Structure 1
C-alpha cells in the first residue's frame, strides 16, 4: 500500500508541475505490439498527463552499451531492461541516481534492497523446444551440449539471455567452460544479437532448441492456445534473471521518472507485465492465467551481480575464443 501511495503522490506532484516528456531506453520486444510497452504507455500517460516515449535497442546489454557510448549526453530519463547481471557495470557508469521508490512490497524471494535499481519482473533462463519435433527433451545442460540437437542462442555481448547462458555454462562447467562452448558450437545454428531474432528463427523451425525463458510456453498457451512449446527443466538448475529499471542522473525530469518506476511495481502495471512480457510479477496478489501454475519450477544457480561484474569480460573472451575455434 505504501508503494501505491508513493506512486500516487509522485504522479500528483508531476501533474501539478505541468506535462513533461519522459524518454525510456528499453529493448525491442518490450515495445512490440504484443509486448507490455503500448499498454504501459497508455496507462501511465492517463495518470501523469505527460508524453512517454520508448526508445528501443536489441536487448538489455545494448541498453548499457548505448548508455556508455552516449555518456553525459544521453537522452534517457529511465533505462528499463538492464538485468541483475549488468547492474554493477551499469552503476559503474556513474549515470544512475537513487530511485527513491519504496520496495517493501516486493516479493521476499527477490531479497531486494538496492536503492538505485528497481525490479519490475523476473524469470529463469531455459531452453524451449517444440514437443512435436523433440519427443525426448534433454534433462540437463550437459546433455544438451553433448547432444547433436540444433540450438540457437544469443550473443552475450549484446543480449541478456546470451549473458545468462554464459553464466549458466560457467556455473555448471567451471574451468571446463571453454570445452563446453567448443562442443556447443558444433551444433549451434546461429548466435543472434537479441532474443527476438533468435526466437523468431526457432518458431520458423530453424532449430530444435532456443535459449529463452521458463515462462515462454505460457505465451503460446494464452495467446495462441498452443501447448506444443515447452521449457526443458535441467537437473543442474537454472540461472535466474531479474529485470531492472533505473533513473538516469542526467534525467530532465527525475520526479516524473521516479513516478514511472513506482508505477512499474504498482498492481496496475504488474497485472499487465506478466501476460505481455511473459515473466513473473515482483509483487504478490497478481492474478495470472492457470498455465503459470503449470510451468517448470527451476532450482536457482548462478552468480552475484558483483561476481558477474568482476568476471564478465574474461568470460566473454573465453566464449569468443572457444566458440570460434
Structure 2
C-alpha cells in the first residue's frame, strides 16, 4: 500500500487513507460513505488529498486491475530550454492561463506588474530567481480557485473526457460544493460544509463560466462572501508589496526580499483552512516588512 500511495498520490503516508478506503469498500467498516467523507473533511488536514486517497482505495477494492494499470511505466521526456528562456516561458504560460481564467485585461495587469518588477530588480545577481518567485506568486493571488473557476474547470469538455478515459461503462457524476447556496453552516463546528449535487449541475457550470468576466464587479454574486473578501485582501497586500520593493530593493538583504515576495505561498486551501493559512501568510509578511536586518535602521 505504501508503494502504491507513493506512486499514485505522491506520499507514502497516504497509504493509511488508501487502506481505509479499501476496507470500507469491502464492508469492513460499518459507517455510511457520506459520514466517512464528512469526517475526512472535518479533520481539516489536506482534506482534498485524503478524500482522493479514500476514493482510490475504494476503487482498488472494486477493480484492482484498473488501478494497477495506472502504474504502467511512462516515458519521461526531459526538455532542454535555452538559457534565460524558462522565465519568459513561465510568464507567457501564466499570461495565457489568466486569459482563460478571466480575460485579457487581467492577463495584461499581470504582465505589466511582472515587467515593473523586472525593471526594479535589474542588475541584481538574484534578479531572475526573484522575478520567477513573483511570477509564480502573483499568478496565484490573481487566479484564485473561486466559484467561477470551479465552474469553468468542470464545464470543460476535457473534464468529462478524462472520466471516460479513466472509467469503463456507465457512471454517474457527483460534485461536493461549498460555494454560494451550497455551503451549509455546521452548527456544531461553526464551519461551512459541502453539499453533494449530481451531474445535472454541469449546464449551470457552463452558464456561470460564461459570465466569469463579472468576477470582482458589483454584479459578482460572490463578491461579498468571506472568502472573496479574504482573497482580495491577499491580492491587494501583495500588490502593495510589489510597489514597495522599488524603494527597498537596493537596501534590503536578499533573504528579506525573498521572504516578502514569497509569503502568498502560505495561503492555501479553502474555507476555514484558507483563513488559517492566510493568517500564517500575513504573519510572514509582517515579519518581512517590519523586522530590521543587520546594518539597517528600524523604521
Q: Same fold (TM over 0.5)?
A: no
Output the TM-score relative to the length of structure 2. 0.25
Richer in strand (by share): 1
| Higher relative contact order, chain-length normalized (CA < 8 Å, sep 6+) | 1
- The normalised TM-score by structure 1 is 0.23
